[in-house]
Chain A
Amino acid sequence: MGLLTHNMLSSNIRGVVNGFPLRIEAVKVVEKNVEMNTDFLKNMFEKIDWKAFVEASISMGYTELPKEADSSLLDSDDFLNRFHHALLELHLEEGALVCPETRRRFPVSKGIPHMLLHEDEV
């Protein structure tokens, strides 16, 4: 699971008001080489919740992202490289996503988060 996916997910357990962002419990983080596409990054930049994104990258062991970012940074190659790396190349292979409200763990196994709810959470 990459951080783009993480940035889109929340805990949707019945009754949970603020299920975003899910806290990352990283057991195994892998890096995958992904070819950079600037258009894609610019596209995604507007959709990303930056604060959650930076926190998530830190919990994955990557600390090179600026705390705050606005679209003027998209002209900087250095920024784009870091953004690209954090968004698409860092992957949580094993671990869990934890609901900030209920502490329910959504396991991540072989890179795939398991977001299905139990019967009593629907």
Chain B
Amino acid sequence: MWYLCVFFHRLLDYRKPEVESLAKLFGAFDDNQNDDVHPQLQWKLPLHHHPDSPFHLVNLPSEEIARNIANRSILVKGMYELWGEGGSYEELKDSILSYPDERKLPYLESNSTFRITVDTFGKVISLQEHKELIQGFTYIPFKGKVNLRKPEHNFWLIEIDNCEGNNGLPPVEQKRIFFGREVGAADRKLLPTYELKSRTYLGPTAMDAEIAFLMANQALATPGKLVYDPFVGTGSILVAAAHFGAMTMGADIDIRVVRDGRGPDRNVWSNFKQYGLEMPVGLLRADNNLPPWRPGLKEVFDAIICDPPYGVRAGGRKSGGRKLLKGAVEPYIVPDDKRTDHIPSTAPYSLVECVHDLLDLAAKMLVLGGRLVFFYPVLREEESPHNHFPEHPCFKLISSSEQILSSRYCRVLLTMVKIGPYTEEISLAARMQHLEFRENHVKWLEDGNLHSAVFSPVDAQLKETGDYKIKDSTKKYRGKYV
């Protein structure tokens, strides 16, 4: 059945992947007999709508699935059973009247309560107009009682105007009116609850709550699953996974973030305690470049979610720096009397190497069908950046959602599904693929180049490239900039 899916107008690239992921989680594809690892939903746009429109139509197998998706999602404002639509109120009336009675009558019964909400996009209407619009529905035989606070059935009249104003919405060529029954809606209240400023312990790169929840949804976090973050920091991503009931585990190379925090009640553990969430089943200080997993351990995690350090705000580190102690000579040996409490030195860890290690770890440690969800930086000047994502023979990329961070660079949330078991041959093939990738695509990612590309003064860059393009800084329609 087709449902009207109305999105919040933000993070446009993240909207459909979120619904697709939740559809998978709530069993929308269970009847699918073929072995497609990534079945997709059917989507349609309302007449004359731009793909960035907040309004979409989506085909889902049941109302229950539609409700579950909407209620857990972050970006779905509402999912509606459409009773009618049209370009004018006359067309809307005909459309509603021709919608089968057996679909309508059960929600209009005298012992039920209801409410009609008027939502206008692109214009503001007065209270009087509002009232007139609702009173215009005399042709629908509402028998129930009106209840504005807690109605059983929520009906929505949604009008999208063909205005040309600068309202941040995609241009609509023609006025469109929808009338439908709400099936489910996002619980955005959890965002203020989890917003970072309420967090007792924060790091400089803590993940914004909204994005963290989106990541947890992409990872299909749910009770009974184990979710791992190899760059756990202050735990901001795992908090979202724990909110959805998953067991969590995290590692970080920096002991200051995972252990000490800022006192007894301001550390990673307290970030979970604060919200009454289950604590991570394990936190450890470890190096992704030399992971301490026992030989033969594989397929334990259901999902790996992380934001690898890509050197813009925080750079990666790995074991193996060689700062010699005074008087020591090569080869480097830590003196026996200094072994306890010795702080091993670390060396810079380039993003390319870091991503290779991450894919290798995920290929080994994820269950089949498990998901790897992580951010990857992309310079916006690059041509066809979409061919430049890292690849691995064990994984299939199922979504990439761009979030623009500045005029110079953006980050892309990649969601990959493990499609094949890890073997030695695959590990070798992945190594080759990685070297090829490194050679051809990502020289700029090495050794702080990304940092300088993002932060160096404009003049210097222009001198290098030699051409000066004046950028149109006054885009009316914000599109992906939202």
Contacts of A21 in B (CB 8 A): 294
Counting CB contacts under 8 A, is B249 at the interface?
yes
Q: Name B338's closest neighbour in chain A (CB-CB).
A: A118
Q: Is B345 touching A12 in the complex (CB atoms < 8 A)?
A: no
Q: Is A115 touching B284 in the complex (CB atoms < 8 A)?
A: yes
In angstroms, how far is the closest chain A Cβ from the Cβ of B450?
25
Q: Is A116 touching B223 in the complex (CB atoms < 8 A)?
A: no
Q: Is A88 touching B292 in the complex (CB atoms < 8 A)?
A: no
Interface size on A, residues (CB 8 A): 37
Contacts of B282 in A (CB 8 A): 1-2, 4-5, 8
With A and B bound together, what is the CA distance between A34 and B339 in angstroms?
36
Chain B binder among A63-71, A73-81, A104-112: A104-112
Contacts of A9 in B (CB 8 A): 284, 292-294
Known: A9-B293, A110-B259. A115 touches B286 (CB 8 A): yes
Contacts of B344 in A (CB 8 A): 116-119
With A and B bound together, what is the CA distance between A114 and B302 in angstroms?
24
Q: Is B226 touching A40 in the complex (CB atoms < 8 A)?
A: yes
In angstroms, how far is the closest chain B Cβ from the Cβ of A91?
9
Q: Is B290 touching A117 in the complex (CB atoms < 8 A)?
A: yes
Q: Is A47 touching B283 in the complex (CB atoms < 8 A)?
A: no
Known: A5-B281, A8-B300. A116 touches B286 (CB 8 A): yes
Counting CB contacts under 8 A, is B287 at the interface?
yes
With A and B bound together, what is the CA distance between A118 and B334 in angstroms?
7
Q: Is B300 touching A47 in the complex (CB atoms < 8 A)?
A: yes
Q: Is A117 touching B297 in the complex (CB atoms < 8 A)?
A: no
Q: Is B320 touching A119 in the complex (CB atoms < 8 A)?
A: yes
With A and B bound together, what is the CA distance between A2 and B295 in angstroms?
19
Q: Which among A10, A44, A109, A116 has the greatest number of chain B C-beta atoms within 10 A?
A: A116
Counting CB contacts under 8 A, is B319 at the interface?
yes
Q: Is A37 touching B224 in the complex (CB atoms < 8 A)?
A: yes
Q: Is B293 touching A88 in the complex (CB atoms < 8 A)?
A: no
Contacts of A114 in B (CB 8 A): 255, 284-285
Interface size on B, residues (CB 8 A): 43
Contacts of B294 in A (CB 8 A): 7-10, 19-21, 49
With A and B bound together, what is the CA distance between A7 and B282 in angstroms?
11
Determine which of B297, B302, B345 lies in contact with A119 in the assembled complex, contact meaning CB atoms within 8 Å. Answer: B345
Contacts of B345 in A (CB 8 A): 119
In angstroms, how far is the closest chain A Cβ from the Cβ of B115?
37
In angstroms, how far is the closest chain B Cβ from the Cβ of A38?
8
Counting CB contacts under 8 A, is B306 at the interface?
no
Q: Is B226 touching A120 in the complex (CB atoms < 8 A)?
A: no
Counting CB contacts under 8 A, is A43 at the interface?
yes
Q: Is A116 touching B333 in the complex (CB atoms < 8 A)?
A: no
Counting CB contacts under 8 A, is B321 at the interface?
yes
With A and B bound together, what is the CA distance between A114 and B255 in angstroms?
8
Q: Name A48's closest neighbour in chain B (CB-CB).
A: B300
Contact with A along B5-30 (1 / 0, CB 8 A): 00000000000000000000000000
With A and B bound together, what is the CA distance between A88 and B280 in angstroms?
10
Contacts of A113 in B (CB 8 A): 284-285
Counting CB contacts under 8 A, is B322 at the interface?
yes
Q: List 16 A-B contacts (CB under 8 A).
A: A1-B282, A2-B282, A4-B281, A8-B294, A8-B300, A10-B292, A10-B293, A12-B292, A32-B279, A37-B223, A111-B269, A112-B259, A115-B285, A117-B290, A118-B342, A120-B334
Instruction: Give the 7 A-B CB pairs with smallest separation, nearest first.
Output: A5-B282, A39-B224, A10-B294, A20-B294, A115-B292, A115-B286, A40-B224
List the interface of chain B (C-beta within 8 A of A).
223-226, 247, 249, 253, 255, 258-260, 269, 278-279, 281-287, 290-295, 297, 299-300, 302, 319-322, 331-334, 339, 342, 344-345
Besides A113-B284, A115-B292, 17 new A-B residue pairs in contact (Cβ under 8 A), listed by A number: A1-B284, A2-B282, A20-B294, A20-B295, A39-B224, A44-B300, A49-B294, A112-B258, A114-B255, A114-B284, A115-B287, A116-B253, A116-B287, A117-B319, A120-B332, A120-B333, A122-B319
List the interface of chain A (C-beta within 8 A of B).
1-2, 4-5, 7-12, 19-21, 32, 34-35, 37, 39-40, 43-44, 47, 49, 88, 109-120, 122
